Amino acid sequence: MNQQHRVIEPASPFSLRNMPVRPRAWQALVDTEGATHVSNEDGEMLLVPEQGQLRLYWAFVDIEAMRLSFADMFAAIRDDIRADRADYVAMDLVGLPDRDWLNPLLREVDLEFFAEWMEMTQPDLSTLAVPEFPDGAKMRRAQDADVERMRAIYEEAYGRLADGEGAFDAMVADAEWGGVLEADGEIVGFALNGGVERGEGRVLTVAVAGGRWVDLGKSLLQAAAYQLGSREALQATIKVRPDITQTLRMCSDLGFRHARAGVEYRRDVDEAAIAAARDARRIAGVKARFGNWR
């Protein structure tokens, strides 16, 4: 009988991470063109061009090692944080429920809490029916001429929770399918899908303009998921912002279920904006301490 040997990836000595990344996937991030990687015996930090922005990853032996090395490592990669590369630096936290000890370290390098996110999965696309749209609304394939209208809808739909122009441009570039929803002859929503790998497809984004999430959002997401199913995807995944409650509701109505969740921190690439934010925090701190005669 032939024996099959499986290569086991060596365990990393750095168990404290901002998010779980397998050793092979970590090495792929290190090898990404334009990535900056710094390390010492107690930890490592990685700045990666990703999805149109810059994303920060780190791993340390323990909390004390991170406290000693985090700021110095960030200083070593700081020159690669430039406005010509991204709108901001993003950092996700997954599986770290207690952030009280971490926040001072992040504040020191101007990483501020941005928003929560949730990844949701529809495990069986065969259960989805062909989407139906209200009278006067119809779906068609997106065209190059639609991109600027799609951008305006995306910014309107997500407001401060939008991921920036660089991220939007990256989604458009990465999309393998795009559909726009027209109502009364005007584009009022769109969806973008990524590729299908090993039976899993990803809905990159769904956006609806003019406060029409309620009557059109569900049908638009259903169309995007159905399109992935037509390309032999067995399940679909989408990343949503819980602060936009309509998106959670429409995902749940279509059978999407919670897969994982995290929080995102961001750092501006504009040093003048960072300095202004520091001054605002300093002034707010002074008011909090001395603003009341008691």
Average pLDDT over residues 105-119: 95
- DSSP-assigned letter for residue 11: P
Q: Tell me what the pLDDT averaged over the chain comes to.
A: 90
| Strands 53-60 and 88-93, bridge-based pairing | parallel
Q: Residue 205 corresponds to which tokens in the numbers above?
A: 């984004």
Of the listed ranges 23-27, 204-208, 286-290, the one predicted with least confidence: 286-290
Average pLDDT over residues 273-277: 78
Residue 148 parent element (H or E): helix 147-158
* pLDDT more than 70, % of the chain: 91
**What was the pLDDT predicted at 286?**
59
pLDDT band at 274 (very low <50, low <70, confident <90, very high): confident
| Strands 257-268 and 186-197, bridge-based pairing | unpaired
Residue 73 parent element (H or E): helix 63-77
Of the listed ranges 44-58, 101-115, 199-213, 270-284, the one predicted with least confidence: 270-284
Output the CATH code of domain 124-254.
3.40.630.30
User: Within 10 Å of residue 162's Cβ, how many Cβ atoms?
Assistant: 17
Full-prediction pTM beyond 0.85? Answer: yes
Q: Residue 188 corresponds to which tokens in the numbers above?
A: 């009022």
Give the model confidence (pLDDT) of 176-221 as tens digits. 999 999 988 899 999 999 999 999 999 999 999 977 777 789 999 9
- The yes-or-no verdict on residue 245 having pLDDT over 90 is no
User: Within 10 Å of residue 78's Cβ, how many Cβ atoms?
Assistant: 15
Please state whether 140 falls in left (phi above 0), alpha (psi between -120 and 50) or beta: beta
**What was the pLDDT predicted at 13?**
76
Locate the domains of the chain by residue range.
16-117+264-290, 124-254
**What was the pLDDT predicted at 291?**
58
CA atoms within 13 A on the CB side of 82: 6
Q: Residue 156 corresponds to which tokens in the numbers above?
A: 């309107």
Of the listed ranges 96-110, 168-182, 218-232, the one predicted with least confidence: 96-110
**What was the pLDDT predicted at 177?**
97
**What was the pLDDT predicted at 12?**
65
- The rounded distance, in Å, linking the Cα atoms of 252 and 76 is 43
- The yes-or-no verdict on residue 146 having pLDDT over 60 is yes
- The rounded distance, in Å, linking the Cα atoms of 96 and 102 is 9
**What was the pLDDT predicted at 212?**
77
Fold of 16-117+264-290: Aminopeptidase (3.40.630)
* DSSP percent split of the chain into helix, strand, coil, nearest 5: 40, 30, 30
**What was the pLDDT predicted at 285?**
59
**What was the pLDDT predicted at 6?**
45
**What was the pLDDT predicted at 96?**
84
- Do the domains at 16-117+264-290 and 124-254 have one common CATH topology? yes
- DSSP-assigned letter for residue 9: P
